[in-house]
Amino acid sequence: MYFPLSEEQEAVRDTARRYARERLARIQEEDERAGIFRREVVAEMGELGFFGAIIPEAYGGTNLGFLAAVLIVEELAAVSASYASHFVSQTAGPGLCIIRHGSEEQKERYVPLLVRGNYLGSFAATEPDAGSDVASMQMTAIRGERGYILNGTKTWITNATIADICLVFAYTDKGRRHHGISCFLVDMGEAKGIIKRPIEKLGLSCSVTGEMVFQDVEVPGEALLGAEGEGFSILMEMLSITRLFAAARALGVSRACLEGSINYARQRRQFGKSIAEFQMIQEQIAQMYVEHEAARLLVYQAAANRDRGRGDLKEVATAKYMACEAAARAADMALRIFGAYGYALEYPVQRWLRDSRAFPITEGTSNIQKIIIARELLGL
């Protein structure tokens, strides 16, 4: 597929590809099996400028744009979807959100640290009984003498046990439903009374996920990001961006499935010939290719339109839905093509299969994406 790229975009894509193949490929399988997260990898990616692609230069970024950022994430995810997830937790989520809604003090203090990979970021909206239905969250932020007191539980939070900062969404006025949710920039090194525990997952084992329990956690008034009651709109804006990068990660995995299946089909022989000559194998590879290319065009177009200031909810939801579903199907087909070897831990197919199952769930389920698309089309 041809998609016009600038020299800068091609250069940053090539840098990310080299880093993924020369660095991440050497540690990926070992880290996945041991469930290891290497903080130095985030610092290395920060030093290479990956996290700064959508951040203004004034705060340590390169401001290369959304398409450049998507190219970076796709290349990283083609080798390690786990380590690629840090783009969201560093700048597509908290970093850019602070840029758009934070005070000048918050921007100057935290954004450069996130961009460089010196601080690990996180954001916490999901609760045990509040996933897609954000307004059903129970967490509260009550005004105290010196700021706000947070109480509640957040779950399925990336970097929950290791984050240096976290954007926490809580009710400051439950009577106003969506309009009563506010956002707080919590410095995890300063906040006291947060109980954290990790969650063991099916895949993405190099990405730490966990639960946070806030028990009378006091944060200063300056921790408020934006104004009271703006939390829901801040969260929806942020998710429209993080979904784009969930789609980019899915692109990387579907590409790995496609390339891996092509290589295996050419080498594997049965009945005296390469299995690439079998029409059922050809059908599956063709299906993978068509869906991957369609998804890639949608994701690149959504990113390019963001750079032009023309992005909309429907476009991102369409890209996210297509890319994430295509990745899950590609992993299924790769398993069939590899046969019994695809079931073996020594081959990457099992990792593609496990990792791909997260994409239709994270950053808004596939069903939620279809609802967004339909409502935008119907004007509801």
Do both 242 and 330 map to the same domain? yes
- 273 lies in the same domain as 340: yes
Question: In this structure, is residue 264 part of a structural domain?
Answer: yes
Give the helix, strand, coil percentages of the chain, each rounded to 5. 60, 15, 25
Q: What is the pLDDT of residues 311-334, one digit of tens each?
A: 789 999 999 999 999 999 999 999
Residue 193 lies in domain: 123-229
Choosing from 75, 127, 325, 363, the catalytic residue is: 363
Q: Which of 116, 135, 153 is the last residue of a domain?
A: 116
AA letter at 141: A
Active site includes 145?
A: no
Check: CB of residue 334 under 8 Å from CB of residue 349: yes
Domain end among 229, 256, 288: 229
Do 162 and 261 lie in a common domain? no
Are residues 358 and 221 both part of a single domain? Answer: no
**Total domains in the fold of the chain:** 3
Paired sense of beta strands 165-171 and 123-124, if any: parallel
pLDDT digits (tens, 9 = 90+) for 158-177: 999 999 999 999 999 988 88
- Give the CATH number for residue 12: 1.10.540.10
Which residues on adjacent β-strands are paired with residue 151?
A: 140
Q: What is the DSSP string of 161-198?
A: TT-SEEEEEEES-GGGGGGGEEEEEEETTT---EEEEE
| Residue 2 pLDDT level (bands cut at 50, 70, 90) | confident
Mean pLDDT calculated for residue range 186-215 = 95
C-alpha closest to that of 252 among 87, 74, 66: 74
- Among the candidates 86, 116, 146, a domain finishes at 116
Per-residue pLDDT tens digits for 175-190? 888 899 999 999 999 9
Same domain, 285 and 312: yes
| Domain shared by 289 and 223, yes or no | no
225-253 as b/e, with b when 16 or more CB fall inside 10 Å? bbebbbbbebbeebbbbbbbbbbbbbbbb
Residue 140 sits in a domain whose CATH number is 2.40.110.10
178 and 160 part of one domain: yes
Residue ranges of E strands in 221-376: 224-225, 269-270, 273-274
